[in-house]
Amino acid sequence: MKKHPIIKLLSSVLFGIVLLVALTIVSIWGSLLSSNPNIGVEGAREHVFNTWWYTALLGLLVVNLVLCSWNRTVWAIKLWSRASYQRGKGFYLRQKSGRQIALDDGLEPALQELRRHYTTCRVEGNAVHAQKGLLGRLGAPVVHLGVVLVLVGGLVRMFGDHLGYAVFEGQVIIPESETVDSYYVRRDRTQPLSEKNFRKVPLGFQLRCLDFDEEKFPHSEVPRSYTSQVEVQDGDTRVRGTITMARPFNYMGYKFHQTSFAPNRQVERAVVEIVDARTQKRVTLVDISPRTPVAVTNTPYWFETKGLAGGSRWELSQDGRVVAQGRLERPRGRASFIVERLVSDFRIGADREVSSASDEWNNPAVLIGYHEEDKRIDGNWFFYRPEFHQMGVAKQGDYDLEFVDYRSSAEEAPGESRSAFEVEIRVSRKTGEKIGIYWLRIGERLRMDKPYAEDEVTTGTLTGSEAVSSAGTRTAASEGESPFFVRYRGPTMGYDTILGVVKDPSTPITFAGCILIVLGPLLAFFITYRQLWGYYETDENRLYLALSVQGRSERPVKEYQRIVQRLQHREER
Amino acid sequence: MRANQYVKKVVCLGICGLLLWAVCYGASGDKPLPKGESAYPQNEALEQAILESGLPKLAVQYDGMEENLLSYARLQLFKILGRTKVKGQDPAYTILSMLYEPEKWREARVLPIGNPGLYGLLGLQEEEDKLVSAAELLDRVMMEQIRERSRTADPRTLRALNILLNRAHTLVHLPETFLILPNGEDPQGEWKTPLDTEGLTPEIATASSMLNRELVSAFAEGRTENLKPSMERFLATVEAEEQYPAQWRRGLHYFNTRVNPFRWTYMTYFVVLGLFALHLGTQRRSLYVWAMAVLGLGFLIHTGGLVIRLLLAERAPLSNMYESIVFTIWGLMLLGGILELVYRRGFIGLSAAGFGLVVMVIVSFFPIHMTRIEPLRAVLNSSWLTYHVMTVMTSYSAFMLSFVFSLMYLVKDMTGEVEETQPLVRSVKIWQWLPKKETLDLLNYRAIQIGWPLLTFGIFSGAVWANTAWGRAWGWDPKETWSLITWFIYTIFLHLRIRQGWRGRKTALAAIVGFLAVLVTWFGVSYLRLLSGGLHSYV
């Protein structure tokens, strides 16, 4: 049947090649655009790869592949289902592979031999047709089908992004121990996601970051791993998961993967050490926040503490069951505070240096250094004005400070040094217990004589063995057990984990296509189609055979020669 | 005619000699010293004692890996002096001298100035001396003057100044990086310097102090008799620590550092090249056998080098540009060797060895920080690294072969076919060694038949990996786009050949275009500003 000219064009190999050339040239252009810092990958997508005309080129390629593969597949099915007999002796004599075998027992034993080696073996009278390896002819159609699936997957993806049933390059930023219920996508697709280019979309559930950990190789800035522990809260459902660079977290079709992270000083965090009490060796360090469960690496346990102050209660649980609890131990270091500076009108200059903007007491602030065992751990500015009180937070160990008042003990020249001034500081524990109010001169040290919580440490039980003494020492564990205890190490930096959000229904389609694209060449290169014709000349008792092989493979030829030899030897016997 | 032949032979010998010089020069690693070189602290007897004591094998933690003292020394010497060894001294001795004779090195003019613009900044007479000392640079008065003068300096000079200051800082702070004591309290953490024994067992602390004392006395007084015993005692104590690298690992690392298998690889390929060339010239079968045997040997050495890197790094040796190039050449030699065994034409082995030799010599000039075994960064920490990169690199090996065959085809095409290959003594045309054009055309096709499915799988595995790590299988990243462009080009090639009957010059040109796309995908995206960017930029 004659093909319509348009169908003939669309199904021609040359047309397909022209399309591939066009796609190559356009893709080169798109790549140059994506490397332009003013355009970027997002711009290149919107100007080239996601445009209607690029899609149209791909669509034409799909049509070309379908039509071309249809022809070949239909033909292959016809080959399989129909036999092609050759009856004339002349045919066999003309073939290079043509052979004659004398048969005295008739055709049937020879047919049995052929059936052992060929998939189909059809007989009509004295004519025989056998074939094998038809899958090899389907190699190209399989590849084409794979490409079609990949392109269809791409279309699904593209329309999903536009129509909103799929999500690409979404993002969530979650401070440790905090929860979010929505993610962000770009409003303008030609620009990257930023503070000025975003749109908020609800997740439909809550996502909490329990812990983020960046581990570097020792004595190196090279990161070994980035790990986020997250928890989904969906009604009564709680699902926990760990996200690394090699392992995203999936929930309800959403995929969360580790994109980046950022430090966050507002997050209250501390480091505790899990120590094997028998060997006295550290099991792991764990960063914790109050009331946030964290998985303990290399153990099946989850750790949670009610607070970060010394004496705060902690629990170890496994599968939701509390297996041990106790109070946070602190090192025996004594805390002290030193009033270091006082300024009357707090200002941070362009060089990040603090100074006084004027001699007026517009915004008084005092710098207090926090020390443990006379080693300065940190320093914070505390503000007299109530609206700035919350800025002097963190890293005062177990204490909260408040700048209550100030006074001059002598006449002082105007300026920032204020060395003759005194400041009134209120000190309380983070657990809420008030300690006292003190007037301190600039440079004076306030030492906390009562080490925290020694009397607050109570007995707890670890798995199988351990008892915690009130002085914070440990009794020796019994033999055969492996107890451990928890030691507070100090405050640490908090982080925001930045997770990419994706919801891509096209992934299975795309990967199925990729598998076919890989499978197709294997079929084409390793399975060889061959046909064998036979004709039994009854008068001569002679079987004529000839072989046709697609390609240059020698294996089918050798197999054919073995068959011929076997038939010949059988007759000799 | 005879004069012509002589000229041709001389030219050939000259080319071979040049190659040989490049091979040996790259192998030596010793660069000429700048003019005005000051005397480095040196003591040959002490150097010998250090080598005999086993100190070069001492494990040192550096930048995330457990190096040995020799490799640590080369890395630090390169950072400080711009080269990996000094004046024929063993690097291990030099670095210990820097650690235990710090004042001498601070005062010695050893830091190369490099940029001519720095003379003005440093207040030195131009061409007076090409070296400056750390003490001069870090002198307070000098720093103030440098700060003043640098206000008007051009960016290039400022960059050079930064480099020079970094060299001085590295030298001065060298002891802080000499981490030889495993941290018992934190097995995953940073090691400690010899004198930082807090928290260690008394045995280790004592052994470390003793070793340190012996080194001090060796450099100060030249007393070396206790160096070896103290080193042995130190090893005996630290080897008990769980995180201290096992003896076989230390030995393997030292062997790799000292011997550098890849240097022997390209020297072997040089011999293979010569043997195949002689075989083609004389048509002697015995030379062919020898060539194949040496090719096999070279391939084994090459494989051994990769296996060593795999064992030491505990991951596939495919994580940076150097490793990818070395692996690709390994693939080239593997495929070239197989094709040579199948077709037995000699020129396949010749071309593979020649191409492999040139590339391996080039990478031998890479600076040491590009060739060291690095820890695997988090973003590459996936088993897909092996599947994806290995298949892509092997496909590049196949395309390299096709490129070589295509070039040969074009040479043959331009110079005309001859009926038989003549032995060297009669032939005056070197390209007569090349086989028939049909053979080259077929081999070109075969190479692409091997490369195309590998590239396809490589792109697929990359998409799977990207889907896991970045949340999307395909993002039109420049690397991804160019790999697709390469795939398009070779797909076009296959269709033109199989369905349109293209042969000969057209397919040779198409294969060359395809290989150019491979080069852009491999190197252009990483290094050319015109094409760079995207998530693959670390390779």
Q: Read off φ and ψ for residue A133, nearest 5 degrees.
A: 80, 30
Q: What is the pLDDT of residues A397-427, one digit of tens each?
A: 667 888 988 888 655 544 545 567 888 888 8
Compare all CA atoms of chain B with the CA of A35 and give the residue at the minimum distance: B531
In this structure, are A318 and A349 located in the same domain?
Answer: no
Does residue A468 belong to any structural domain of this protein?
no
Q: Say how far apart CA B435 and CA A517 lie, in whole Å.
A: 35
Domains of chain B: which residue ranges? Answer: 34-251, 408-539
Does residue A464 belong to any structural domain of this protein?
no
Amino acid symbol at B191: W
Q: Say how far apart CA B52 and CA A371 lie, in whole Å.
A: 50
Does residue A90 belong to any structural domain of this protein?
yes
Question: Are β-strands A346-348 and A335-343 bridged in parallel, bridged antiparallel, or unpaired?
Answer: unpaired
Contacts of A43 (CB under 8 A, 6+ apart): A33, A34, A36, A190, A191
Q: In chain B, what residues touch A219 (CB-CB under 8 Å)?
A: 61-64, 177, 179, 190-191
Q: Choose the closest CB to B469 out of A222, A246, A517.
A: A246
Q: In chain A, what residues touch B516 (CB-CB under 8 Å)?
A: none
Confidence of residue A454 (pLDDT cuts 50, 70, 90): very low
Amino acid symbol at A147: V
Contacts of B300 (CB under 8 A, 6+ apart): none
CB contact under 8 A, A521 and B484: no
| Two structure tokens written together for A472 | 């914070």
Does residue A496 belong to any structural domain of this protein?
yes
Q: Say how far apart CA B116 and CA B22 lie, in whole Å.
A: 29
Q: What is the mean pLDDT of residues A136-162?
A: 87
CA-based max dimension of chain A:
138
In this structure, are A346 and A411 located in the same domain?
Answer: yes
| Two structure tokens written together for A12 | 């021609």
DSSP B33: P
Q: What is the mean pLDDT of residues A371-378?
A: 76
The gap between the terminal CA atoms of chain A, to the nearest Å, is 52
| The pLDDT of residue B252 | 96
| The pLDDT of residue A464 | 26
In this structure, are A309 and A352 located in the same domain?
Answer: no
Q: Read off φ and ψ for residue B363, nearest 5 degrees.
A: -70, -20
Q: Read off φ and ψ for residue A228, nearest 5 degrees.
A: -115, 130
| Type and span of the H or E element at A145 | helix A139-163
CB contact under 8 A, B375 and A220: yes
- The 3-class SS string of A261-302 reads EEEEEEEEEEEEEEEECCCCEEEEEEEECECCCEECCCCCCE
| The pLDDT of residue A463 | 26
Compare all CA atoms of chain B with the CA of A504 and give the residue at the minimum distance: B472
| The pLDDT of residue A355 | 84
CB contact under 8 A, A510 and B463: yes
Size of interface A-B (CB pairs under 8 A): 159
Compare all CA atoms of chain A with the CA of B463 and give the residue at the minimum distance: A511
Low-confidence spans in chain B with pLDDT less than 70: 1-12, 16, 22-39, 126-129, 416-433, 532-539
In this structure, are A318 and A435 located in the same domain?
Answer: no
- Whose tokens are 């020129």? That residue is B347
CB contact under 8 A, A500 and B531: no
CB contact under 8 A, B468 and A248: yes
Burial class (CB in 10 A: 0-12, 13-18, 19+), A291: exposed
C-beta of residue B324 within 8 angstroms of C-beta of residue B539: yes
Q: Say how far apart CA A155 and CA A70 lie, in whole Å.
A: 22
Coil, helix or strand for A516? Answer: helix
In this structure, are A24 and A149 located in the same domain?
Answer: yes
CB contact under 8 A, A13 and B500: yes
Amino acid symbol at B298: G
Does residue A41 belong to any structural domain of this protein?
yes
C-beta of residue B521 within 8 angstroms of C-beta of residue B487: no
Whether B150 and chain A come into contact, CB under 8 Å, resolves to: no
Whether B374 and chain A come into contact, CB under 8 Å, resolves to: yes
Contacts for B383-388: CB closer than 8 Å, 24+ residues apart: B383/A246, B384/A246, B384/B461, B384/B462, B384/B464, B384/B465, B384/B468, B385/B315, B385/B316, B385/B318, B385/B319, B385/B465, B386/B315, B386/B316, B386/B318, B387/B461, B388/B458, B388/B461, B388/B462, B388/B464, B388/B465
| The pLDDT of residue A481 | 40
| The pLDDT of residue A410 | 57
Does residue A508 belong to any structural domain of this protein?
no
Cross-strand partners of A534: A128, A545
Contacts of A190 (CB under 8 A, 6+ apart): A42, A43, A46, A47
C-beta of residue B110 within 8 angstroms of C-beta of residue B211: no
Q: In chain A, what residues touch B496 (CB-CB under 8 Å)?
A: 17
Question: Does A235 or A481 have the greater pLDDT score?
Answer: A235
| Two structure tokens written together for B514 | 């395809």
CATH of the domain at A538: 3.30.310
Q: Each residue of B247-284: b (16+ CB within 10 Å) or e?
A: eebbebbbebbeeebbbbbbbbbbbbbbbbbbbbbeee
CB contact under 8 A, B482 and A31: yes
Domain span at residue A181 reads 167-331+483-503
In this structure, are A93 and A151 located in the same domain?
Answer: no
Q: What is the pLDDT of residues A85-122, one digit of tens each?
A: 887 888 888 888 888 888 877 888 888 889 999 998 99
Whether B469 and chain A come into contact, CB under 8 Å, resolves to: yes
Q: Say how far apart CA B350 and CA B294 lie, in whole Å.
A: 12
> How far A365 CA lies from chain B's nearest CA (Å)?
35
Does residue A124 belong to any structural domain of this protein?
yes
| The pLDDT of residue A279 | 75
In this structure, are A271 and A295 located in the same domain?
Answer: yes
Q: How much of chain A is in helix, strand and coil states, percent to nearest 5?
A: 30, 40, 30
**What part of B 25-44 touches A (C-beta under 8 Å)?**
none
| Two structure tokens written together for A413 | 């020249």
| The pLDDT of residue A361 | 86
CB contact under 8 A, A226 and B452: no
Q: Read off φ and ψ for residue A15, nearest 5 degrees.
A: -65, -40
| The pLDDT of residue A480 | 33
CB contact under 8 A, A248 and B63: no
User: Residue B127: how many CB atoms within 10 A of its CB?
Assistant: 10
Question: What is the total count of domains within chain A?
Answer: 4
CA dihedral of B242, B248, B252, B255, whole degrees rounded to 10: 120
Q: What is the pLDDT of residues A343-352, one digit of tens each?
A: 988 888 766 6
Does residue A491 belong to any structural domain of this protein?
yes
Q: What is the mean pLDDT of residues A387-405?
A: 67
| Length of chain B (residues) | 539
Assembly ipTM: 0.83
